[in-house]
Amino acid sequence: MSLLTLPSPTRPRYISDMGSSKMELIDCHDCGGQVSFRAASCPHCGSPEPSGPYVFSRKELRRHRIEYRNDINLLVTSLGCAAAGGLYGAIASSGGLGAILHGLLYGLLGLLIGVPIAFAINVTRGLLR
């Protein structure tokens, strides 16, 4: 007889005491029927969120507002630098097609410079508070 006992092929490897514990039931947010806390959807009405929608905490809401402001700041700064570069390229050029090409190239250069600047502003803004 060996010290190591192998699991039986008919018996599962994991053993849980689910029979002895009571299932936690909650009321469905949509229909009010009893639903298991672990259920992915309500068996009565089919609601995909039987426990109701997720409610953000104040800290999570603050973080989302900061991230949204950072995204807007990145967009405005990048597009502002691209517009300034495009305007400079169009003004500095001598004529029609050259003005368009120089405007596009300087606008791209302004965009490539504007993204790191906006990133630096977003990073340092949190440090200055």
Question: If you average pLDDT over residues 79-108, what whole number do you get?
Answer: 88
Band the pLDDT of 3: cuts 50, 70, 90. low
Q: Look up the domain containing 42 and give its range.
A: 22-55
User: Rounded to a whole number, what is the largest CA-CA distance in the chain?
Assistant: 96
Question: Phi and psi for 26 in degrees, rounded to 5?
Answer: -125, 165
According to DSSP H, which parts of the chain are helical? Answer: 58-92, 96-128
47, two tokens: 């609601």
Per-residue pLDDT tens digits for 35-54: 887 888 888 888 887 777 77
Question: Do both 123 and 77 map to the same domain?
Answer: yes
Question: Do both 30 and 67 map to the same domain?
Answer: no
Question: Do both 87 and 51 map to the same domain?
Answer: no
CB 58 within 8 A of CB 50: no
pLDDT at 105: 92
Using the 3D structure, point to which of 31, 55, 79 is the last residue of a domain.
55
Per-residue pLDDT tens digits for 81-92: 999 999 988 888
Question: Do both 75 and 122 map to the same domain?
Answer: yes
Q: How many domains does the chain have?
A: 2
Residue 9 lies inside a defined structural domain of this protein:
no
- The single residue listed with the structure tokens 């092929």 is 9
pLDDT at 83: 92
SS3 26: strand
Band the pLDDT of 1: cuts 50, 70, 90. very low
Cβ-Cβ contacts under 8 Å for 103 (sequence gap 6 or more): 86, 87, 89, 90, 93
pLDDT at 93: 83
Residue 4 lies inside a defined structural domain of this protein:
no
